Structure 1
Amino acid sequence: MAQPAVAELIDLLAIAVRGMQAGQRIPSEHQIMVKCQVSRATARAAVETLEDLYLVRRVQGTGTFVNRRIDYPISQSRAPSFHGIVRAAGAQPRTVLAGKGISPAPEDVGSRFGIPPGTDALRLERLGYIDGFEACFFEEWFNPRAVANLDVALRVFESVAEAFEASGFTPERTEWFGTVDIAPAHVCTRLGLPRNHQTWLVESIVSDVDAELPLMISRAWSRLDQVRMVFGASAG
């Protein structure tokens, strides 16, 4: 249980943080110590508690910033679009390509796509940002039977869902599974997390509604302090 001085400072800082914009830098521990006339240990404990409550996010070597955790619904009724879901929550999305290549699809991916073992398929790695902060890391395989020209659309559209639509598909999340799990080391690095850190893990299949054809199989890791996954009933 927090000491009285710490609890009082937490309440004071929480009120101030809630009145600030997402991504805005908050005062340093030293500035809090001087302004509020508390010890450095008290200032540190208060900021750590705000971080535990997902009200702030500390970025090593940069500072501590106001954090806004958003609800991220996963269901068949919501378009499988990172950009669309983040915008609907009132936040600003951005994705950048972290890796791209054509390689033999793993056996489990190939069986889902209905392609022979070892068939080459497009694989993307993307890093998703919410309000300027790293939030999600995506590993995605694309069905070569359906999306042979997706590369062309992705040169124009940052959003994979929008690229699907531009290619004439109606994408829908038809199967998914979500849990909290320890992320792989390379994912923790991409998301700015320490090794062996827990994240949301969501595995999905996105299909074309009309053709009932699988388009993409994805794994997505998301920071717990950036999103709260809200799962609907799975159709799969």
Structure 2
Amino acid sequence: MTERTGYQDIAGRLAREIAVLEPGSKISSEHELMERFGVGRASARAAVQELERRGMVRRIRGSGTFVNRRIDYLISKDLRPSWQRTVRAVGATSRSTVLLSEVRPAPEHSARYLGVGPETPVHHMRRLRYVDDRVAALADEWVTCDVVTELGAALRIEESLDELLRQLGRVDSVRSWCRAGMELPDDDVCRALDMTTVAPVWVIESINRDADTGTAVTYSKAWMRADVIRVVMEIGDHIPCRTEEGKS
């Protein structure tokens, strides 16, 4: 049995066992896998890394490896652009931690996306987002100051930016543009997301506008852990239906 076949065989057997376990269940350590399957540390580690690549397990520094639960994060023009509402819609819990909140001149890219002049003062926030108490995403958000004047203090009371804009700015925020892709994060993002290994993450950029005026009110860029979130995008005017012949 080659080293490659060995770790893939171990990963396959563990995957079948994990499929019937509850999310959060702890799985065997690398040392225990070495003893159970009679392999070296390299094969045991590669098997766990393969399960992590599949999104089936997650590793927590100093605690071990656990059965993972990955949720679908749906992006659609028909849904309110709210992290909290989207996460809760799939039965998961959501919370956010504010890492930074300040009013500052808009960076060039943010000013362009928001349709304001360079150096125009905007609210800038950086927040760490959690799903079921797991670090899931890091987000930078820029909000035009003419929509709402005080934002930092309000975020300590209401976590949903979408809800705050509705309450304080009387803004009916809708998603008008979105770009999604995957990339390898830099060291700062890896540390913020508590990633034990460098792996591709979802990168989501969005512009939200006021439905009534068409004015851009927020621009955001988020890095989402792919082992916690599966990004799903729905594009189109309606859900396709099947005809009598069984064709869509």
Q: Give the TM-score band, short-chain normalised.
A: 0.7 to 0.9
Q: Deviation string for 1:136-156 (max 9, x for gaps)?
A: 110011111112233453232
TM-score by length of 1: 0.86
2:160 equivalent in structure 1: 159
1:189 and 2:195 are equivalent in the alignment: no
Q: Which residue, out of 206, 219, 224, partners 1:217?
A: 219
- Are residues 201 and 8 of structure 1, via their aligned partners in 2, closer, same or farther at CA, if it must alter by over 3 Å? closer
Aligned equivalent of 1:130: 131
**AA partner of residue 193 (structure 2):** L
Matched residue type, 1:38:
G
Aligned-partner Cα distance in 1 for 2:114–2:209 = 10
Q: 1:65 to 1:123 in 2, by over 3 A?
A: same
Q: Deviations over 1:90-133 (max 9, x none)?
A: 32222111111111112332344344432221100001112222
The alignment partner of 2:103 has SS state of strand
Displacement over 4 Å in runs of 4+: 5-8, 194-197
Q: CA RMSD in A?
A: 2.6
Q: Does 1:110 align with 2:97?
A: no
Q: Tell me whether 54-63 or 36-45 shows the greater mean CA deviation.
A: 36-45
Cα distance between partner residues in 2 of 1:18 and 1:99: 39
Task: State the aligned residue count.
Answer: 233
1:43 Cα shift? 3.4
Q: How does 1:196-235 map to 2 (within 5 A)?
A: 197-233=199-235
Cα pair distance change 1:91/1:151, threshold 3 Å: same
Q: Secondary structure at the match of 1:178?
A: strand
Unaligned runs of 5+ in 2: 238-248
Aligned-partner Cα distance in 2 for 1:12–1:157: 45
Shift of 1:68: 1.5
Aligned to 1:148: 149
Counterpart for residue 39 of structure 2: 39
Q: In the alignment, residue 22 of structure 1 is paired with which amino acid?
A: P
For residues 39 and 195 of structure 1, what CA distance do their matches in structure 2 show?
Answer: 22
Q: Residue 20 of structure 1: CA displacement? A: 2.6
1:164–1:16: structure 2 CA closer, same or farther, 3 Å change rule? farther
2:242 aligns with none
Secondary structure at 1:80 match in 2: coil
